[in-house]
Structure formats: C-alpha cells, structure tokens
C-alpha cells in the first residue's frame, strides 16, 4: 500500500515537472473575464513553450479559507488572486517580493507593506454615486446638475422624498457593505491625508470627532428617510443594485470596476439614463481640484506568487503577463474594469458616465478609508451599522465598541 502511495506521488510529481503552473482565483470562469484569461494564457504559453497554465476558479465564499489552509500546509497554487487591503496583507508572508515588477502600476498601497510590493494590482476600485436621471427629472430636479455639496444632496433627497416614487438611495446593508461604502465615501472628503494615514494605523479612533461625525451622518440620513425600510435585510450585492436598476432608488453608491458600475447600469438602464457624482460630505476639509468632493480609490484585485511554489521565477513571469497591458485591455473592454496599469489602451471603453468619472481618478482621488482598516474593525462596523440602522444602539456606544476592536487589532 505504502509503495502504491509513493508511486502515485512520484507520478504526480513527474507530471508537474513537465512545467504546469496553477493559478487560483474566483474570476476565471466568469464570461466577462474569459477573453482576458485566454489572452494571458496564450501569450504566456507562447513565450514559454512546454509550459501549461491551469486556471482553477474556486468558490468565492470559501476562497480564503481554502487558500489559508493550503498555504499554511506549505502547498497551494503557484499564483493566486486576492483582494487588496486586509486580505492581501494577511498573506504577505507567503508571497514573494514583486517590487521590481510593479513599476508604474497604480493601486500599489493595498498590495505592499510600504517598502515591498507583494502582488501586482490588476484593477482599480473606487466609489461614486450613480443616479437615475428619469427619477431626478420626475422630482423636478435637473438631471444634468447632480449635487456637489452636502446641502445640495440634502435638497435632492428632500425633493425625491416629496415625490414619493422611490427612496433617495437604494441601500443594502445585510453584509454591512452599505455602511462600509458610506464611511469611505464621506471620509474621502472629511479626513485630511494625515488623518487617513492615522486611521490606517489605528491611531485615529472611531470615537474621534471626525469618525463620530461620519457615523452620525449615517444615522442622520436614515432618520431623514433617505433609505428604504428593510435595508438590513437587503444585500448590497446585488439586491440594492437590482433595486436601483429597476428604478426603485434614485441614487446608489456603486463601484468603478467589475459590477455595479457605469457599464452594468448603462447596459441595463440605457447609458443616457444614468449619471455619476462624487459623494458629498458634511464639513468637507479635503476638496478636489474642481472644488467638489473627493472620491475613494484603491487597488482592487491583484496576483501574487506563492513562495512555496515549485518554480517561482516562472510564476513571476506569469504574474507579469497577467498584469500586462495587452491581456488587460480585453478585461477592460469586456468587464468594464479600470486597469491599474496605465499603459492599457482604454479607448474601446466608451460611456458618457465613464467619460465623467475618468478624470476624477487623477483629480479627486482619496484613500479608501475602510480598505485600510483591519478586517476585525470591518466586521465590527458591519454589526454596529446594522444596530444603528435599527435604532438599537447609539453613535457613542457604536464608536466605543469599534474603538475596542480597533485597539485590539492594532495591538498585536
């Protein structure tokens, strides 16, 4: 029996010697990513004859559990995909140094520990507010002039509420993402660059006046009736966005890449029927070049190389190909992602809303506050935000609970 196992093992080992690279992700089977993956695979295999690349799409809900199990057992794929921020940072120990390959890419902070880059970002992610032009017009608002200040946004929501056809914002907070997006959108304009950095280090507390003002704004907007009832049982992905697409919400905080963005809303609702604006904030201190609010922006997803892999040099080459302008152009075109690689040709992406948004990525970019918080803080924020929406806790109590988690997360 033992020999049989040994023989099987040897056999498996020898097939792997015929140079096969395994990539884990949760995207490669997605039709929108198909041409990107195919292009990268073709390009890489052409440059490295005899090597095959095997993309394995894993179930999203168990992805990090599986990855963690494999990595901590010293096995796992040669290359794997991860989300920027907390999830990437938890795996830096298993990743090689890709600093030399990262030159010129955007969205690096989410994939590096300051000095060393551990994964190459593929997409840029960010939040803007998308709005339904028809619902604006119906409420007597000018669809060509979205709000640029907090007071203007309040007036918009009052008008929409008075009309009564739909809530001002479609809101999904079942997983706590509604609160996450809200906090980052407001923090972009309400925090200074120094305060953002302090927040990332856990030095700006949730009970500080600034952070409490953000939580208070979340409660205020609920009290003003901006959201539909039952936001806590509505999933942001995709219940909230489906509501918005059905016209059951005048605004929604959406993404820049992947889904819930200019491309998806444009395809479903007609490109001429939607518009975008940057989320205004009360007491804004950081303003964009045009005097308007800032927009949270961060590295989205990225590929890294497993240190324990059989052929790290080859895997590094593969990640370079995956981050290369050529294959990503196909991804940008099909899925509507904003590439982290500035060399990508984006001329094929045409949408009036995207044309509005693109300049903001340079003129109005702010850090994405929640992506820099610890994973434990985010979990606590999810829970506290739901209690805030239900009126089961106060801003003071929620901030105190978050402080505790924040202190613990940054202590050890």
Partner 1 sequence: MSPERRTAWAFLAPSLVLIAIFRIAPLIWGAQLSLTDARGITPGAFIGLENYRELAFDPAFRDSISNTILLIATLPVWVCFPLLLAILIHQGVPGGRFYRATYFFPAILSSVIVGSIFNTLLRRDGAVNAALKLVGIAPTDWLGSSHTALLSLIAVQLWATFGMSLLIFLAGLSTVPQDMIEAARLDGARLRHLVWFIIIPALRPIIEFVAVVTTIGILTSMFGLIYVLTAGGPGTSTTLPEFLIWLELGKLNRPGYAAAISMVLFALMAGLAWAQIRIMQRNADV
Partner 2 sequence: MSKRLLSIPMALIALSCLYPLFFALNNALKTNKEDILNRFGLATSPTFENFTQAWTRSHLSDYFLNSVTATVGAVLLLMLLASMAGFALAILRFPLRHLVFIAILASLMIPVQVVLVPFYKTVIAFGLLNTRIGLILSYTAFFLPFSIYLMTSFYAGLPRELTEAARIDGARFWQVWWFVMLPLGKPALITLGILNALYCWNDVLISLLVLQDKRTLMVGIAALRGEYTTNIPLLSAGIVLAALPIVAIYLIFQRQIVNGIATGAVKG
- Please report, as ranges, the residues that interact with partner 1 according to CB under 8 A: 61-65, 68, 71-72, 87, 90-91, 93-94, 174-176, 228-235, 239, 375-376, 379, 382-384, 386-387, 389-390, 392, 401, 412
Does residue number 27 form part of the binding site for partner 2 (CB under 8 A)? yes
If the CB atoms of residues 82 and 108 are measured against partner 1, the closer one turns out to be: 82
Cα 398–Cα 404–Cα 405 angle in degrees, nearest 5 = 95
Cα separation of 89 and 255, whole Å? 22
Q: Which of 75, 355, 362, 363 binds partner 2 (CB under 8 A)?
A: 75
If the CB atoms of residues 102 and 260 are measured against partner 2, the closer one turns out to be: 260
Does residue number 14 form part of the binding site for partner 2 (CB under 8 A)? no
| Structure tokens given for 71 | 């990595």
Least separation, in Å, of the C-beta of 233 and partner 1?
A: 3
Does residue number 271 form part of the binding site for partner 2 (CB under 8 A)? no
**22 touches which of partner 2, partner 1, none (CB within 5 to 8 A by kind)?**
partner 2
* Beta strands 295-299 and 123-132, pairing class: antiparallel
Least separation, in Å, of the C-beta of 260 and partner 1?
A: 17
Does residue number 70 form part of the binding site for partner 2 (CB under 8 A)? yes
Does residue number 159 form part of the binding site for partner 2 (CB under 8 A)? no
Does residue number 60 form part of the binding site for partner 2 (CB under 8 A)? yes
Does residue number 330 form part of the binding site for partner 2 (CB under 8 A)? no
Spatial CA neighbour of 279 closest among 142, 169, 133, 371 = 169
Any bridge partners for residue 53, and if so which? 21
Does residue number 223 form part of the binding site for partner 2 (CB under 8 A)? no
Does residue number 58 form part of the binding site for partner 2 (CB under 8 A)? yes
Cα separation of 21 and 40, whole Å? 13
Q: Which uninterrupted H or E stretch holds 161?
A: helix 150-163
Any bridge partners for residue 299, and if so which? 124
Cα separation of 240 and 257, whole Å? 17
If the CB atoms of residues 63 and 226 are measured against partner 2, the closer one turns out to be: 63
Binding mask 228-267 toward partner 2 (x if CB under 8 A, else -) reads ---------xx---x--xx-----------xxx-------
**228 touches which of partner 2, partner 1, none (CB within 5 to 8 A by kind)?**
partner 1
Kindly provide the residue ranges of all beta strands, DSSP E only, lying in 211-350, ordered along the sequence.
Answer: 251-255, 274-277, 295-299, 301-305, 338-339
**97 touches which of partner 2, partner 1, none (CB within 5 to 8 A by kind)?**
none
Three-class SS state of 380: helix
Does residue number 191 form part of the binding site for partner 2 (CB under 8 A)? no
Stretch that binds partner 2, among 2-10, 189-197, 202-210, 326-334 (CB under 8 A): 2-10
Contact call for residues 150 and 281 (beta carbons, < 8 A) = yes
Least separation, in Å, of the C-beta of 12 and partner 2?
A: 7
Q: Which of 8, 233, 348, 363 binds partner 2 (CB under 8 A)?
A: 8
If the CB atoms of residues 375 and 400 are measured against partner 2, the closer one turns out to be: 375
Cα separation of 205 and 406, whole Å? 8
Stretch that binds partner 2, among 26-34, 308-316, 325-333, 394-402 (CB under 8 A): 26-34
Among left, alpha and beta (phi > 0; psi -120 to 50; other), residue 104 is: left
Taking every pair of C-alpha atoms in the chain, what is the biggest distance, in angstroms? Answer: 80
Contact call for residues 23 and 55 (beta carbons, < 8 A) = yes
CB-hemisphere CA count at 13 Å for 28?
20
Cα 145–Cα 242–Cα 216 angle in degrees, nearest 5 = 65
If the CB atoms of residues 48 and 382 are measured against partner 1, the closer one turns out to be: 382
How many other C-beta atoms are found inside a 10 Å radius of the C-beta of residue 50?
A: 8
Residue corresponding to tokens 């009126």: 391
Stretch that binds partner 2, among 20-28, 112-120, 288-296, 318-326 (CB under 8 A): 20-28
* Beta strands 123-132 and 251-255, pairing class: antiparallel
Any bridge partners for residue 54, and if so which? 22
| Residue count, binding to partner 2 (CB under 8 A) | 35
**38 touches which of partner 2, partner 1, none (CB within 5 to 8 A by kind)?**
none
**245 touches which of partner 1, partner 2, none (CB within 5 to 8 A by kind)?**
partner 2
| Structure tokens given for 257 | 């890449």
Positions that interact with partner 2 (CB under 8 A): 5-6, 8-9, 12, 22, 26-27, 29-31, 54, 56-62, 65-66, 69-70, 72-73, 75, 237-238, 242, 245-246, 258-260, 268
């Amino acid at each position: 029996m033992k020999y049989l196992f040994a023989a099987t093992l040897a056999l498996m080992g020898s097939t792997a010697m015929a140079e096969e690279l395994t990539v884990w992700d949760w995207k490669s089977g997605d039709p929108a990513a198909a041409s990107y993956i195919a292009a990268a695979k073709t390009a890489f295999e052409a440059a490295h004859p005899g090597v095959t690349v095997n993309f394995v799409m894993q179930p999203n809900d168990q992805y990090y559990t599986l990855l963690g199990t494999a990595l901590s057992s010293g096995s796992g794929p040669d290359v794997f995909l991860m989300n920027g921020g907390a999830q990437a940072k938890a795996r830096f120990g298993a990743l090689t140094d890709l600093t030399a390959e990262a030159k010129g890419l955007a969205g690096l902070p989410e994939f590096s520990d300051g000095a060393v880059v551990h994964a190459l970002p593929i997409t840029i992610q960010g939040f803007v507010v998308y709005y339904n032009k028809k619902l604006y017009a119906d409420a007597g608002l000018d669809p060509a002039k979205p709000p640029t200040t907090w007071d203007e946004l309040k007036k918009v929501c009052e008008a929409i509420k008075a009309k009564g056809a739909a809530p001002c914002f479609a809101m999904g907070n079942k997983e706590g993402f509604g609160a996450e997006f809200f906090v980052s959108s407001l923090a972009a304009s309400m925090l200074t660059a120094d305060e953002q950095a302090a927040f990332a280090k856990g030095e700006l507390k949730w009970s500080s006046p600034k952070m409490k003002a953000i939580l208070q704004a979340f409660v205020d907007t609920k009290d003003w009736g901006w959201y539909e009832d039952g936001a806590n049982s509505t999933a942001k992905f995709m219940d909230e966005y489906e509501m918005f697409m059905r016209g059951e919400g005048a605004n929604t905080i959406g993404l820049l890449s992947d889904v819930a963005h200019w491309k998806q809303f444009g395809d479903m609702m007609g490109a001429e029927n939607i518009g975008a604006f940057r989320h205004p904030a009360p007491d804004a201190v950081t303003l964009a070049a045009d005097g308007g609010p800032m927009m949270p922006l961060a590295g989205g997803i990225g590929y890294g190389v497993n240190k324990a892999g059989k052929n790290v040099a080859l895997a590094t080459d593969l990640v370079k190909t995956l981050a290369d302008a050529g294959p990503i152009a196909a991804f940008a075109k099909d899925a509507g992602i904003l590439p982290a690689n500035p060399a990508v040709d984006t001329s094929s992406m045409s949408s009036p809303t995207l044309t509005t948004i693109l300049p903001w990525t340079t003129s109005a970019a702010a850090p994405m506050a929640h992506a820099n918080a610890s994973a434990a803080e985010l979990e606590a924020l999810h829970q506290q935000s739901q209690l805030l929406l239900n009126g089961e806790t106060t801003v003071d109590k929620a901030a105190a609970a978050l402080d505790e988690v924040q202190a613990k997360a940054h202590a050890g």
